[in-house]
């Protein structure tokens, strides 16, 4: 059972007040003509990679809106009162799970309609035996690393779960969702092969990742790399002086050519660590901030993975040309009108 945190209780009360003021009316979809009824499934998602995966399967046949703004720490994100209304209007609420979005999940459970569905992707993609624990997500805390999607094979699993749920709730469009899934599956297969080719060009002794925030545990396991550490402690504070000194010694001992920061988390400490240890500092990795802006061809989950590999592989001494020519655009025709908050 999920207990509402104090801030979430306040949001629930605010939602009640807002609902009364709105007299129960639904929101207007800007993609529709005034007065035109939009009967598409209303789907709400959390972080942008999940929103992109859902968009690629649902395409133009769903109304999709993400909740967590890009470039925001999803672990500490607190939903706003207006999001309670989105939860109440949604037919399907899709989260990562694995303890990533607990305040958002509590808000969804408190405000969703009885017939609405909450789909937790991560919890259905890996078993507890497959959970990964690390510096940022220690086993002693009981919460596994929730960043499954940097492994494209698990990203495909997310897409399969989304397809199953959409087809069950909207059987009239099941064939459309299935077609999108097969095109997405083909793109993932190409991405997976390209990553394997690229990683193979990295000298074996360099196939190690030291990052600020640990988002790469499942990726590393899939592609024969090793995450040797993360700077950010499990409480998302700054590392201690002792931890910093240990990381510097570790980088020097292993002779790592590069360490990796994040677009979301401030990496001044990691930059100093890299400088002291004589390693290159690469601040271009992202786990939930899609490239470019909404509407750009690269603003997709596939584009995110291509961008990350283009930054990671050369910094470790490899050749990323295998991922350069991948098609990372959406797999469906037309514009879905999906909302990616910035």
Where along the chain do its domains lie? 11-22+37-130+142-189, 203-323
Residues with pLDDT less than 50, the chain: 1-31
pLDDT value of residue 315: 97
The answer as to CATH 3.40.50.720 being correct for domain 11-22+37-130+142-189 is: no
pLDDT value of residue 167: 98
What is the tens place of the pLDDT at every residue in 293-312? 999 999 999 999 999 999 99
Q: What is the pTM of this model?
A: 0.86
pLDDT value of residue 232: 67
Under CATH, which architecture does the 203-323 domain have? 3-Layer(aba) Sandwich (3.40)
pLDDT value of residue 236: 67
pLDDT value of residue 8: 47
pLDDT value of residue 1: 40
| Rg, C-alpha atoms of the chain | 21
Counting Cα atoms < 13 Å in the Cβ hemisphere of 42 gives 18
pLDDT value of residue 9: 45
pLDDT value of residue 10: 44
pLDDT value of residue 34: 53
pLDDT value of residue 242: 84
Which residues have a Cβ under 8 Å from the Cβ of 158 and sit 6 or more positions away? 50, 53, 121, 125, 148, 149
């Amino acid at each position: 059972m999920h207990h509402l945190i104090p801030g979430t209780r306040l949001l629930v009360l605010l939602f009640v007040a807002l609902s009364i003021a709105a007299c129960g009316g639904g929101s207007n979809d800007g993609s529709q003509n005034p007065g035109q009824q939009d009967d598409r499934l209303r789907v709400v998602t959390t972080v942008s990679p999940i929103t992109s995966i859902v968009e690629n399967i649902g395409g133009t046949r769903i109304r999709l809106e993400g909740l967590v703004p890009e470039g925001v720490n999803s672990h500490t994100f607190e939903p706003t009162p207006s999001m309670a209304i989105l939860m109440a209007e949604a037919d399907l609420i899709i989260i990562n799970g694995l303890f990533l979005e607990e305040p958002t999940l509590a808000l969804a459970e408190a405000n969703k309609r009885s017939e609405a569905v909450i789909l937790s992707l991560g919890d259905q993609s890996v078993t507890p035996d497959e959970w990964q624990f690390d510096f940022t997500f220690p086993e002693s805390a009981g919460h596994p690393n929730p960043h499954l999607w940097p492994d494209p094979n698990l990203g495909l699993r997310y897409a399969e779960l989304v397809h199953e749920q959409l087809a069950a709730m909207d059987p009239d469009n099941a064939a459309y969702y299935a077609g999108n899934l097969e095109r997405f599956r083909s793109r993932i297969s190409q991405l997976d092969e390209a990553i394997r080719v690229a990683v193979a060009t990295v000298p074996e002794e360099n196939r190690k990742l030291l990052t600020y925030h640990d988002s790469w545990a499942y990726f590393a396991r899939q592609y024969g790399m090793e995450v040797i550490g993360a700077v950010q402690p499990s409480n998302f504070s700054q590392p201690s002086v002792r931890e910093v000194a240990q990381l510097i010694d570790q980088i020097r001992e292993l002779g790592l050519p590069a360490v990796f920061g994040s677009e979301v988390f401030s990496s001044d400490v990691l930059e100093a660590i890299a400088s002291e240890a004589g390693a290159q500092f690469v601040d271009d990795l992202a786990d939930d901030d899609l490239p470019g802006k909404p509407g750009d061809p690269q603003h997709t989950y596939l584009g995110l993975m291509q961008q990350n590999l283009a930054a990671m592989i050369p910094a470790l001494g490899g050749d990323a040309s295998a991922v350069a020519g991948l098609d990372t655009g959406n797999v469906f025709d037309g514009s879905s009108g999906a909302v990616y908050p910035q």
